[in-house]
Amino acid sequence: MDEEIQKLLPLTPTVFHMLLALADGEKHGYGIMRAVEEETQGQMQIRIGSLYGSIGRMMEARLIEETNERPDPELDDERRRYYGLTAFGRQVLTAEAARIAQAMAVIQGKQILGKV
Amino acid sequence: MRAVFRLSEWLYGVLLRLYPKRFRTAYGQQMRQRFRDACRVAYRQNGGGGVLALWLPTLLDLVKSALEERAQQGEITMFKARLVTLAGPLTMLVGVLWLMACVGDFVFRLGAEGNEAFLGLVAIPFFFSFFPLLFALIGIRQRFHPVVGSLGRVGLALSVAGGAGVLVSVLTNILLSGLVPEAGPHLWANYAAVFCVLSIRVGFILFGVDMQRYHMLPRWNWLPLLLGLTVVLSLPLDWFGVPAFLPAQWATPYLHFAVSGVCWLLFGLTLLGPGRAPQATAAV
């Protein structure tokens, strides 16, 4: 399993931020787009075509899956499809986060960003 | 406002056809819905201008991701392979269209049909020949690029760029004439088209020189060079002018269409045959 995870690292920024957006619960496509934009303070915007291309590839890689649950079926459009992290997707996200944290430690050690 | 939404959504639905069918079936409906959501947000924030501003990044992303999806599913490779096979028939079609233009030119100059509409009929097959020609040139480049020398590669690239350039400049001219009719004829677009035709010919001269060295066609390896050189039949007239009383004024455009048309036809015929492995004669 570890080898399978390592093969996927480092993740592309789009995939990483999409996994991050799904880390706190299932979202539909537009929700993922909005979450990525908010979490990156507008520095990353995923457009519709790229979003669904990435969703397709991430589903093929078993990082995410389509879920049947609706947060509130009364309020939600039933045609919307929701996506959530798979167990494997969460492991990949954790491994990538650890890799970034390790790099961050080096950045801090070398005071690239000045004294924090 | 509903009209803008409807038009935008309809146009987006049409453009979704750029994606492979499998992708469209899986995500087309959702993408339309997301686009509708994005339109609503853009309108709420910036009105009609916001919806228009949404279009440019959406369009760029759509073309980029559609190409990625097609490449992912191997469709682009398949398309290129198909173009290699089709290069021969397409080149022959170009030859037929040029010969039609040649016959039209001949009849026109004989005075059998002395009106402007007939001149249009002469130009139509010539103009439409550039559509199959572009795909044929791409196919020819795909087939010979890996086996020719650097001169031939430059020539093939020039010819493809020229083929695309002719279509872009002629279509731009038509579009501008429709949108801004009061601006009159756009001469720069005509000059661009002539420059691009010249690029195809120069490209074929370079490619033809390499063909003389490597003999990669099953027969008639001199054809690409001859195709490039037929340019001398048309351009000197336009550039330097020939007095109207000289027979050359009458004969050279006719000859240009005729010789080029026959060359395209024969070249297409040779492309139908299997290719040869490069046989260098100049390199020792």
pLDDT digits (tens, 9 = 90+) for A3-13: 888 888 899 99
Is there a contact between A30 and B65 if contact means CB atoms under 8 Å apart? no
How far, CA to CA in Å, does B226 sit from each of B124, B223, B235, B258, B267? 24, 5, 15, 13, 10
Beta bridge partners of B166: none
CA-based nearest distance A29→chain B, Å: 7
Contacts of B64 in chain A (CB under 8 A): 49-50
What does pLDDT average to over chain B? 79
Residue B57 distance to chain A (closest CA, Å): 8
Does ipTM surpass 0.85 in this model? no
pLDDT tens-place string over residues B58-68: 888 888 888 88
Q: A14-72: per-residue pLDDT in tens?
A: 999 999 999 999 998 888 998 999 999 999 989 899 999 999 999 999 999 998 766 55
Question: CATH for A2-109?
Answer: 1.10.10.10
Chain B residues 28-67 with CB within 8 Å of chain A: 29-31, 33-35, 37-38, 57-58, 61-62, 64-66
Radius of gyration of chain A (CA): 16
Calculate mean pLDDT across residues B183-205: 82
Looking at the partner chain, which of A45, A52, A57 has a beta carbon nearest the beta carbon of B30? Answer: A52
B104 vs B220: which has the higher pLDDT: B220
Q: Per-residue pLDDT for B28 more than 70?
A: yes
Residue B136 has pLDDT above 80, yes or no: yes
Q: Are B83 and B163 in contact (CB under 8 A)?
A: no
Please tell me the least confidently modeled range out of A39-48, B30-39, B164-173: B164-173
Q: What 3-state class would DSSP assign to A84?
A: strand
- Please name every residue paired with B125 in a beta bridge, in sequence order, or none if there are none: none
pLDDT, residue B156, reads 93
- Rounded to the nearest angstrom, the minimum Cα separation between B168 and chain A is 26
Q: What SS3 state is found at A85?
A: strand
A contacts of B68 (beta carbons < 8 Å): 53
Confidence of residue B76 (pLDDT cuts 50, 70, 90): low
Domain residue limits, chain A = 2-109
Is residue B237 packed enough to be buried (19+ CB in 10 Å), middle (13-18) or exposed (0-12)? middle
With 0-12 CB in 10 A as exposed, 13-18 as middle and 19+ as buried, what is B9? middle
CA A65 – CA A86 distance, rounded (Å): 6
* Contact by Cβ (8 Å): A71, A63: no
Which of A49, A53, A79 has the CB atom closest to B33's CB atom? A79
> Band of the pLDDT at B280, cuts 50, 70, 90?
very low
- Predicted local confidence at residue A35, as pLDDT: 93
